[in-house]
Amino acid sequence: MSEELALFGGPKTKTTDWGTGKRFGDEELKNLKEALDQNTLFYWYGNKVKEFTKKFADMYGAKHCVAASSGTAGIHVALGAVGVTAGDEVITSPITDMGSVIGILYQNAIPVFADLDPNSYNMDPKSIEEKITDKTKAIVVVHLAGNAADMDPIMEIARKHDIKVIEDCAQSYMSYYKGRLAGTIGDIGCFSVNDFKHISAGDGGMIIMDDEDLYYKAFKFADKNYDRFSTDPAAERKIPYLAPNYRMTELQGAVALAQLDKLEWICEQRNKYGDALTEGIKDLPGIMPHKVLEGNKSSYWFYMLRIDEEKAGVSRDEFSKALSAEGIPNQPGYIPTCVYEYDLFKNKEGYLGTHSPFDSKYYGKDIEYYTGMCPVAEDILKTAIRINVNEFYTEQDLKDTIAAIRKVSNYYANRQ
């Protein structure tokens, strides 16, 4: 006999409070005070952003790091640095934050969406290759939810076609792909310190790279294309083409610098929690755990399982409700639809009241965005359940989460 579900009046699985903790403390305060005591909050004059970018680059074993005002800004800077411009195509993921595509559109380039692996929710290298045309300039590989995409085949395809690879690691700090850190495999790795990420400076972004030329291009692109390294004041303002102001302030740099000391612990906690969750639910009928490729290490920004409704004997939505009733916060799906199903793409209205950049003479081609374009990605959003992961969650929280998923699964499986 299965235990009665809390959804139908049975006892609730989770009866204790969830683990919580303070994300910011005296270290952040000390750095902020030091930043203010400099009497400037401008990154070029102060030391906090410089210290932060140096430390982050060192942690990643990268030669260079450029700071930006957000993760979105960082990706835009990366695109600018690799030379993405009007009429280029850039391949990316249909399940991601708008931040992955905003920079593409601001460069008047055309986002092209590749389909995903059904269980890692990362871009499928085969689909990427199918989407390559003579217009493809770059790939923005999104490492979703702390989990590294399959980079070896992606890099092989990119090198074969002479395409730049930008890794969007906004959700994936300290995520390993076959022993290498996600963000160090492609040409540029991009990160976010918005308030919802593993570490926070309120907002902010970083991009890392080894190539010196890319570094200078990125550095300038993040700061109006001013050449601050130049000793000739006239050369500083010799603007070759448009670039935005995405500068990080010393206040963001100060907080972000202190946050770096906590990063490894945060990612380690999340890794243990997510892997243990998989271990605890992997034998359940019709429940597909969050797939991490063999040899990889995820830092689980969130945990997302999928329901095979037929095998599980329950709809995704009912499973999600039953789990909530057991006291386990979760959300059905992730973003409401694939990104290409947003009005912006369906109506091809990049800039208000126009079809720019889709109808640009620099593009000179036609592109359609439609439901059915990436069937695996669409299916993921219809059958996934997203479960919160937090570095402050306790052993008890883990035990209760596993117990609740098992209870709900057993109930519906035995009912069949």
Ligand X SMILES: Cc1ncc(COP(=O)(O)O)c(C=O)c1O
CB 370 within 8 A of CB 359: no
DSSP 7-58: GGT---S--SPPP---S--HHHHHHHHHHHHTT---TTTSSHHHHHHHHHHH
Q: Which stretch binds ligand X (CB under 6 A): 16-24, 168-176, 316-324, 333-341?
A: 168-176
Is position 192 an interface residue for ligand X (rule: CB under 6 A)?
Answer: yes
Cβ atoms of 408 and 284 within 8 Å: the answer is no
- Taking 3-state DSSP, the helix, strand and coil percentages for the chain, each rounded to the nearest 5, stand at 40, 15, 45
Binding mask 106-145 for ligand X (x = CB under 6 A): ------------------------------------x---
CB 75 within 8 A of CB 99: yes
Please report how close the Cβ of residue 67 comes to ligand X at its closest, in angstroms: 12
Ramachandran class of 83: left when φ > 0, alpha when ψ lies in -120 to 50, beta otherwise: left
Q: To the nearest whole angstrom, how small is the minimum distance from the Cβ of residue 129 to ligand X?
A: 22
Comparison of 42 and 196: residue with beta carbon closer to ligand X: 196
Alpha helices in 249-359 (DSSP H): 250-281, 309-312, 316-325, 343-346
Using the minimum distance from each CB to ligand X, give the nearer residue, 143 or 407.
143
Q: Which of residues 199-218 bind ligand X (CB under 6 A)?
A: 203, 205
**CB of residue 24 to ligand X, shortest distance in Å:** 17
Separation between Cα atoms, residue 313 and residue 311, nearest integer Å: 5
- Phi and psi of 336, rounded to 5°? -65, -40
Q: Which of 100, 122, 298, 409 touches ligand X by CB under 6 A?
A: 100
- Only one of the segments 108-116, 164-172, 307-315, 341-349 lies at the binding site for ligand X (rule: CB under 6 A); that segment is 164-172
Token couple for 142:
């999104």
Stretch that binds ligand X, among 97-105, 256-264, 286-294, 316-324 (CB under 6 A): 97-105
Closer of 60 and 319 to ligand X (Cβ): 60
What is the binding site for ligand X (CB under 6 A)? Answer: 70-72, 96-97, 99-100, 142, 168, 170-171, 192, 194, 203, 205
